[in-house]
Structure 1
Amino acid sequence: MLISDKKIEVRYAETDQMGIVYHANYLVWMELGRTQLVEDLGFKYADMEVEGILSPVIDIEISYKKPVLYGEMATIKTWIEEYDGIRITYGYEIYKENGELSVTSYSKHACVRKESFRPISIRKIFPDWHEAYEKAKKTE
């Protein structure tokens, strides 16, 4: 199983009045983690979009454990929790600078055609992505 790491310097604009990262910003960080994982596998989301394929979120679960604060460095760990050739579930853990677990999360995605939003088979349309995802996903 491949686990990708992405470091984030917490910017003031990402926090609330208490200096705590605003909850919705963790979703943005998860996107950065997914993008890093895809790049670590040798691909780019932008290349998929050039082909007219999008990867929308179809489900998300997030659990907040400890707040990340302004001025800290956060680390996003991202992996492929499940993959079946059509749907992908990414797993995430976000850690505070001191190593404490801040967030656990999962996001489920499907790849769809941009013009119709009809799902596609990654296995058929992007066989190289399929092979990389199969090798990188979490094993039972």
Structure 2
Amino acid sequence: MKRKELYNEANSLTHSESVRVRFNETDPLGIVWHGYYITYFEDGREAFGREHGLSYLDIHAQGYTTPIVKSICEHKLPLKYGDVFRIETTLVDTPAAKLIYRFRIYDSLNNLACTGETIQVFVTTDGVMSLNIPPFYEEWKRKVGWIK
């Protein structure tokens, strides 16, 4: 039986950023190699973190890391060398001690090229996974209005 994820779609924050496809990200036909979309998700998460005060450095300063435990990537249309695309990164509110990011990549004509999701958990710098929301993240959620 599949476990239903508890989250509040209404409570989400999004960041949008434009990126240009680099030559080294393409195959001999000039099409983005499928593995680079995960890198684009990383670019989106980092930009989101910088904008919303939840960067990897911010998290690390609190004594945590956030390894990815699940990733999903669904390709709709190919991106090509030189294309400028937009990645929309959304953090979804969940009561669990994890970060759920959703991604939508649009080509230069605003066509949906790729969707995806990553799930990250909180692990202390000692390597212990946190089963409860860390205090700094709870405070961050309060700051953005997810907790009253």
Q: TM-score, normalised by structure 2?
A: 0.81
Q: Distance in 2 between matches of 1:75 and 1:49?
A: 28
Cα distance change, pair 93–35 in 1 and its aligned pair in 2 (3 A): same
Q: How far does residue 16 in structure 1 lie from its aligned partner after superposition?
A: 0.7
**Runs of 4+ that moved beyond 6 A:** none
Matches within 5 A, 1:30-41: 30-41=41-52
Q: TM-score, normalised by structure 1?
A: 0.85
> Residue 4 of structure 2 corresponds to which residue in structure 1?
none
Q: Which has the higher helix share?
A: 1
> Residue 127 of structure 2 corresponds to which residue in structure 1?
116
Uncovered stretches (5+) of structure 1, i.e. residues with no partner: 136-140
Q: Distance in 2 between matches of 1:91 and 1:80?
A: 6
Match of 2:114 among 94, 103, 128: 103
Sequence identity (%) = 24
Q: How far does residue 2 in structure 1 lie from its aligned partner after superposition?
A: 2.4
Q: Is the 8 A contact 1:60 1:108 kept in 2?
A: yes
Match of 2:103 among 78, 89, 92: 92
Q: How far does residue 75 in structure 1 lie from its aligned partner after superposition?
A: 0.6
Q: Is the 8 A contact 1:113 1:120 kept in 2?
A: no
Uncovered stretches (5+) of structure 2, i.e. residues with no partner: 1-11
Q: Is the 8 A contact 2:104 2:116 kept in 1?
A: yes
Compute the RMSD of aligned alpha carbons.
1.9
Cα distance change, pair 30–57 in 1 and its aligned pair in 2 (3 A): same
